[in-house]
Amino acid sequence: MFIGRERELSKLNKMYQSELFEFAVLYGRRRVGKTTLIREFMRDKDGIFYMSIEGTKRENLQGLSKAVLSKNELQQNTAQFRDFEDLLDYIDTLAKTGDRMIIAVDEYPYLAASYPSISSMIQSHIDNCWKDSKLFFILCGSSMSFMEEQVLGYKSPLYGRRTAQFKIHPFTFFETRKMLADFSEEEQAILYGATGGIPEYLSRVSVKKSVHENLIQLFFEESGRLFEEPINLMKQELKEPMSYHSIISAIASGASKVNEIATKTGLETSGCSNQLSSLIALGIVCKETPITESESSRKTLYRLADSMYVFWYRFVRPNISSISRGVGEQIYSSLVLPQLNDFMGEVFEEICQQYLFLPGIYETLPFFVGKVGYWWGNNPKKKCQEEIDLMSVYEDKVLIGECKWKNEKVGMSVIEKLLERGELFPYKEKNYIIFSKSGFSEEVMEYARVNENIRLVDFEKMCE
């Protein structure tokens, strides 16, 4: 059953109905559901689909030849075209028939690696033939840096030819819930956090098992689907992944500045910075500055962009040897369960940000909310560092938020601290929002009733 990707699928179908030449570029991290989206789009439509392989030019030519010739019953048994130029010439003849046809090449970076001239050749055929046809051409890839630089980048031969691009993201918590309907809201959030919202991982969750049994089976058994997943992903993306593992582990354990990461890993600061840039390009790490400052600010912190990586590097990697010896269930019970709420704190902050942009919620916000992020800085009165979980600024207005994933109700001390932090900023209009997993005390709810600039949102309400 196909779940999610309604916006992307709707856009692709509108493009298909245009009857014009279309060139769509899809990219995103592995396992995020790109291929599933393409196949769903192509279902019941005339098209050719080819999954490139990490092999030689000859192997990819043979595979793509077979896919293209499968449309011609008279030529199905032809071994392959002599070269890619012949193959693209044949696609020219298909384009000239005037019929709507989709040609989708998945994992395009593998094809381009096996034959680097292919992008220039495709560009020539787009310019000289396909752009005046009804061909719907799709290139898809998991190597985000390659797709952004070698397909979409201005130095690419294909630059300016695409008619649409789709960066396929992991599911949000609210999209994830559709795949986890048999679990409680809290269990859905935990499974979302542990899997990072990756559809392929979510598809491995068994409704016949509890949330804890699923996590043990996925991560804490040697045969588990996610037991070595980050290791395998890193091997596919990086030539020498070992130092990268150390950097990610350092961030997962709380290091957030370059010097802290370098100290924990034993790497030189310069080398550490270069490797962080590579991890950012892969979408594993994100670089953040306080939302009130420019991106060039020196007040920079590094976070893991994927909560599955946080979970794995925090709980699985330090215990791989023990899990391999068959005591994963004990490790989960004694080490993971006591820290699960702490792990979920940052996940909940992301869920709260997603909530603000839900249809029906966004238009109720006190002002146009664009960028939402974090803030940290000095409190000159108390002479200490302060942090704000969620914040957005628009002209002279600010929204300041607190996100509490705790088993007790939020009390007045949280409101008092939030208002105190609001005094650090000069904005004329200050709005506050507090999210709570377990609800609010009567005193807090009464305070919010008489102060219109404070909004309370409990997790149950978020999931309605």
- The pTM (predicted TM-score) of the whole model is 0.92
3-state secondary structure of 347: helix
What is the spatial distance between Cα 122 and Cα 360, in angstroms, rounded to a whole number? 44
Question: Of 342, 368, 403, which closes a domain?
Answer: 342
- Size of the chain, expressed as the number of residues it contains: 464
**425 and 386 Cβ atoms separated by less than 8 Å:** no
130 and 187 belong to one structural domain: no
CATH of residue 187's domain is: 1.10.10.10
Sequence-ordered list of residues with C-beta below 8 angstroms from that of 446, at least 6 positions apart, any chain: none
Residues 325, 190 share a domain: yes
Does 365 share its domain with 321? no
CATH number where 362 lies: 3.40.1350.10
In a domain, 439, yes or no: yes
Residues 24 and 152 placed together within one structural domain of the fold = yes
Q: Residue 349 domain-assigned?
A: no
| Three-state SS at 343 | helix
Q: Is 386 a member of any domain? A: yes
Q: Is 128 part of any domain? A: yes
Do residues 336 and 396 share a domain?
no
CATH number of the CATH domain containing 52: 3.40.50.300
Same domain, 307 and 444: no
How far apart are alpha carbons 352 and 457 in whole angstroms? 9
The residues pairing with 455 across neighbouring beta strands, listed in sequence order, are 433
Q: Are 227 and 377 in contact (CB under 8 A)?
A: no
Number of domains in the chain: 3
3-state secondary structure of 165: strand
404 close to 371: Cβ distance less than 8 angstroms: no
Helix, strand, or coil here: 76? coil
Instruction: Indicate the residue type of 148.
Output: E
Task: Judge contact between 435 and 352, C-beta under 8 A.
Answer: yes
Is position 351 within any domain? no
| 437 located within any domain | yes
CA 313-315-317 angle, to 5 degrees, is 50
> Which tokens hold the place of 182?
């048999």
- CA distances (Å), 422 to each of 173, 205, 269, 333, 433, in order? 28, 42, 35, 40, 12
Using alpha carbons, list the distances in angstroms from residue 357 to 30, 350, 370.
25, 12, 10
Single-letter amino acid code for the residue at 343: F
429-436 vs 397-404, strand pairing mode: parallel
Q: Let me know if residue 440 belongs to a domain.
A: yes
Per residue, the 3-state secondary structure of 279-318, as one string, reads HHHCCCEEEECCCCCCCCCCCCEEEECCHHHHHHHHHHHH
| 25 close to 137: Cβ distance less than 8 angstroms | no
Question: Do 215 and 240 share a domain, yes or no?
Answer: yes
Say how many CA atoms lie within 13 Å of 78 toward its Cβ: 18
CA atoms within 13 A on the CB side of 136: 21
Whether residues 338 and 206 fall in one domain: yes
Burial of 143 (0-12, 13-18, 19+ CB in 10 A): buried
Residue 1 maps to a domain:
no
What pLDDT is stored for residue 98 in this prediction? 87
Both 204 and 159 in one domain: the answer is: no
Helices (H), 282-424: 307-311, 320-324, 328-331, 340-356, 412-422
Select from 152, 167, 182 the last residue of a domain.
167
Tens digit of each residue's pLDDT, the chain (464 residues): 678 899 999 999 999 999 999 999 999 989 999 999 999 999 999 999 999 999 999 999 999 999 999 876 555 555 679 999 999 999 999 999 889 999 999 999 999 999 999 999 999 999 999 999 999 999 999 988 899 999 999 999 999 999 999 999 999 999 999 999 999 999 999 999 999 999 999 999 999 999 999 999 999 999 999 999 999 988 888 878 888 999 999 999 999 999 999 999 998 988 899 999 989 988 899 999 999 988 888 889 999 999 999 999 999 999 999 999 999 999 999 999 999 999 999 999 999 999 999 999 999 999 999 899 999 999 888 889 999 999 999 999 999 999 999 999 999 999 999 999 999 999 999 999 999 999 999 999 999 999 999 999 999 999 98
Helix pair angle (242-252, 229-237), 10° resolution: 130
Q: Say if residue 183 is in the same domain as residue 225.
A: yes
Closest CA to 129 of 161, 93, 156: 93
Give the alpha-carbon dihedral of 282, 103, 68, 84, to 10 degrees: -60
Q: Are residues 18 and 161 in the same domain?
A: yes
What is the span of the domain harbouring residue 417?
A: 357-462
CB 436 within 8 A of CB 410: yes
- Let me know whether 159 and 178 are in one domain: no
Domain end residue (candidates: 311, 342, 373): 342
